[in-house]
Structure 1
Amino acid sequence: MTNSPSSLPAQPPLGDIVLPCLNEAAALPWVLDRVPDGWRAVVVDNGSTDGSAEIAARLGAHVVHEPRRGFGSACHAGLLAATAPLVAFCDCDASLDPGELPRVAAPVHAGTADLVLARRRPTARGAWPLHARLGNRALSRMTRRRTGVRLRDLGPMRVARREGLLSLGLTDRRSGYPLQMVVRAADAGWRIEEIEVAYRPRTGRSKVTGTWRGTWQAVHDMRAVLR
């Protein structure tokens, strides 16, 4: 007897994409619509007051509630909720296109890299404010001195294997989480690569690098990781 397509068991996802979320109601429909086949959206609501969690659930995302504020808290809650072999992290503000994931994840999926970071290429004026770029450039140089890994961007979109990420024992729960991931991966001998992706003006107001104060706090958190 031949199974009909509807009776065949659903294929488990290749990857989970963790989307830290704080008041991103305006961006969520576009972001979730761009999640590619084979990936499950894990939206981690970090205390939104604009209905983001309800919108994400209505659009089919797996929603995790993380009451402890902080970018790292949200990211790690998503990692712990992930079940697929690959885990991606991506901002939830529509500045990055989840549709790029298959290309970014390809080296990890093929086994030729252990961690792939998306290097941002601004597509419009104002997509990446000057103060945010300067802060990122300084941190990239400090990371190179600390780890020997040549990176041009510590971008928020990245992909690695779930079990490997869990083995890193990440502890930062603020803005230093992405950098701690890179530092500990480098110390563990991981193969780290960059792949260029388009970077668009975000939807809504930035909570971190959209302001000088937010950028300073992020740089402060990351410098603490490097120390």
Structure 2
Amino acid sequence: MTDVVLPVLNEAQALPWVLERLPADHHPIVVDNGSTDGSGDLARRLGAQVVVEPVPGFGAACFAGLTAARAEHVAFMDCDASLDPRDLPTVTGPVLRGEADLVLGARDAQPGAWPVHARLLNRLLALELRRRCRVPLTDLGPMRAARRTDLLALGIADRRFGWPLEMVLRAAAADWRIAEVTVPYLPRAGRSKVTGTVRGTVRAVRDMTAVMT
């Protein structure tokens, strides 16, 4: 069994699709990070484990889900229907088989799924990671998997948008075997809180720059 952490902020539109497509051996942990659209209650009705994290921030939600997890392996993915849960075994498989310590899903974007400014920012981050850490990544993908206790031991400190980047930086510093697989990336349900707005993108750039520094 793999626990799947699903950070949620007003994703009621996408939740049913995401939860119904989770593989049977992947247990959903929905982290409600201040939703006002009933996402948490909906997730409970659909049978998911729900964790309420009142502290705002993507990293805060991910950390709350990680500490609530109990399985040996844990995965993370966005809960906006941009990623298909049926692709999770592609990401979790190498970790379960002992072939890698951290696996990220590199996004193969479908038309209209990924704003140009967000794609360029992501490409620059991946280039900088390859330059600094020699990690073979082309994308700082949000679908990823690792061993739960190893992730906790990394001591990831960021609680905002720098969380995904800090995970990779700390894993590289700890000499983890980091790998990448390709997963389809679909147009999300609703508007993104990060890449869909100038304010969200600026916040993400600020948080990730602080982590990189």
Is the pair's TM-score, using the shorter chain for normalization, greater than 0.5? yes
Distance 2:118 2:197 in 1: 8
Q: How much has 1:96 moved relative to structure 2?
A: 0.2
Distance 2:11 2:94 in 1: 30
Q: Secondary structure of 2:3's partner?
A: strand
Q: Secondary structure of 2:75's partner?
A: strand
1:173 matched to 2:159? The reply is yes
Q: How much has 1:223 moved relative to structure 2?
A: 1.4
In structure 2, which of residues 54, 63, 79 is the aligned counterpart of residue 92 of structure 1?
79
Whether the 8 Å contact between 1:116 and 1:159 is mirrored in structure 2 is yes
1:220 matched to 2:172? The reply is no
In structure 2, which of residues 8, 19, 24 is the aligned counterpart of residue 32 of structure 1?
19
In structure 2, which of residues 84, 89, 111 is the aligned counterpart of residue 102 of structure 1?
89
Could you report, residue by residue, the CA deviation over 1:66-114 in whole angstroms, capped at 9, with x for unpaired residues? 0000000000000000000110000010000111111211110010100
Larger radius of gyration: 1
1:126 matched to 2:112? The reply is yes
The letter for the 2-side match of 1:179 is: L
Distance 2:69 2:48 in 1: 12
Q: Secondary structure of 1:121's partner?
A: strand
Question: What pairs up with 1:49-64 in 2 under 5 angstroms?
Answer: 49-64=36-51
Q: TM-score normalised to the size of structure 2?
A: 0.98
Q: How much has 1:143 moved relative to structure 2?
A: 1.5
Q: How many residues align?
A: 213
1:73 matched to 2:60? The reply is yes
Q: Which residue in the other structure is 1:190 paired with?
A: 176
Query: Where in structure 1 do 4 or more consecutive aligned residues deviate above 6 Å?
Result: none
Q: Which residue in the other structure is 2:3 paired with?
A: 16
In structure 2, which of residues 185, 198, 211 is the aligned counterpart of residue 199 of structure 1?
185
Q: Secondary structure of 1:225's partner?
A: helix
Unaligned runs of 5+ in 2: none
Q: TM-score normalised to the size of structure 1?
A: 0.92
Distance 2:93 2:180 in 1: 12
C-alpha RMSD of matched pairs (Å): 0.8
Whether the 8 Å contact between 1:143 and 1:226 is mirrored in structure 2 is no
Q: How much has 1:151 moved relative to structure 2?
A: 1.0
Q: Which residue in the other structure is 1:115 paired with?
A: 102
Whether the 8 Å contact between 1:108 and 1:159 is mirrored in structure 2 is yes
Q: Identity across aligned pairs (percent)?
A: 63
Q: Which residue in the other structure is 1:208 paired with?
A: 194
Whether the 8 Å contact between 2:162 and 2:204 is mirrored in structure 1 is yes
The letter for the 1-side match of 2:33 is: N
Could you report, residue by residue, the CA deviation over 1:3-53 in whole angstroms, capped at 9, with x for unpaired residues? xxxxxxxxxxx1100000000000000000011011110000000000000
Whether the 8 Å contact between 2:136 and 2:178 is mirrored in structure 1 is no
The letter for the 2-side match of 1:31 is: V
